[in-house]
Amino acid sequence: MGNIPPVLYFVLAFLEGISIFFFLFAFTKIIWTKKELLLFSVVYSVLTFVIRKLPISFGIHTLLLICLIAGFLSYYYNIKLSSTLFGMILVYTVIIITEFFIAFLFTRVLSLQFDVVLSNPLWWFLSGLPHVILVFFLGIIIKNVGR
């Protein structure tokens, strides 16, 4: 996160939380409310901030987040843990692939150094939006196809 202002981090994490939970609700066919979506997204943004501050190896924070969210959704909505885990793995696979693609675009097409993208708050924020949008649209597709 470097010199990214916490407010900017929380805005992107909140938007990411909305897209992830929307995707998971569609994927697992959970009946949800807007209040739950917003509340879970706020909790998600705080949780990601805290977990990323822990002194653990790169990637472990993502695995921890996957397990915590999948476990929570499984418990809260009384659905199979395997469904929520599969949904979380699927959504994070989409995020990782999208982030690699965006990193390629920024470094090759826009000729930006990746450390510039990570250290500049605007570029950092813009690099995080594509996966948020893609995950949300995939949730819409899954929701409409599942009808």
Residue with the bigger pLDDT between 57 and 3: it is: 57
pLDDT of residue 48: 93
Given a contact cutoff of 8 angstroms between Cβ atoms, the answer to whether 88 and 70 are in contact is yes
| Each residue's pLDDT tens digit, 77-131 | 999 999 999 999 999 999 999 989 988 888 888 887 877 777 888 888 888 999 9
What's the pLDDT tens digit per position in 13-40?
999 999 999 999 999 999 999 999 999 9
Q: What is the 3-state secondary structure (H, E, C) of 74-94?
A: HHHHCCCHHHHHHHHHHHHHH
pLDDT confidence band for 64 (50 / 70 / 90)? very high
Q: Please give the pLDDT value at position 2.
A: 60
Report pLDDT for 7: 92
CA within 13 Å, CB half, 39: 5
Q: What is the pLDDT of residue 1?
A: 54
The secondary structure of residue 64, as a DSSP letter, is: H
Distance in angstroms between the alpha carbons of the first and the last residue of the chain: 40
Find out whether 81 and 70 touch, Cβ atoms under 8 Å: yes
pLDDT band (50, 70, 90) for residue 147: low
User: Given pLDDT bands bounded at 50, 70 and 90, which one contains residue 63?
Assistant: very high
pLDDT of residue 123: 83
Cβ contacts of 47 within 8 Å, gap of 6 or more? 65, 68
